Structure 1
Amino acid sequence: MAVFAVHYVYSDATAPVRDVHRPEHRAWLNALVDEGTVLTSGPYPDGSGALILVQGDSLEAVTKLFENDPFARENLLADKRIVEWLPTMGAFVS
């Protein structure tokens, strides 16, 4: 299974609505952590976005999965980029 980096970009304009949907967003992510799909997740300290590392079969499968994120469903992302990532050392090397 490949590892993918999901990069979220936030805008200041959506911050109040993200706060409303953050509990559902985090519950959704935690369910994916529990099943082993999400390896780790967290926001950037400056509030500009977040990074989520995911195991998946393909870029298409991960892209489809992340359409279900409450932040995506509510159009709260200024941008999203999903790329396959090849860890060569450390915690995420298989």
Structure 2
Amino acid sequence: MQPVSADVPGAEEFFEASESAAVVSQQIQQMLDRHASLLYIYTEGYGELFDVEQFNEMFGLVPDQRSLQVEYYRNFEHTYRLSNHREMVVDRIVRWYADRFPIARR
């Protein structure tokens, strides 16, 4: 295996955060105050996130399973290149959407 060169940029350079965690937290809270429903899905694609609790640590917001949901898919690659991983994530998003916007019964 070839060693990584010091010239290779790290994740923070590829995925620069344009806002601080405090600003992002405030923006999320503003959406929640307007009764928005949010679903955040994280994977092991980045070394900084290891479980759902880190969302609270980063933003000071506790997921509540209604308006703010956070999912963490351990052993999933962030581009969902495995079809069963894609299916699971799409299924989760569809269920989240259906819970919030149920089809009206006639």
Output the TM-score relative to the length of structure 2: 0.25
If asked which structure has higher relative contact order (CA below 8 Å, sep 6+), I would say: 1
Answer with 1 or 2: which has the greater Rg.
2
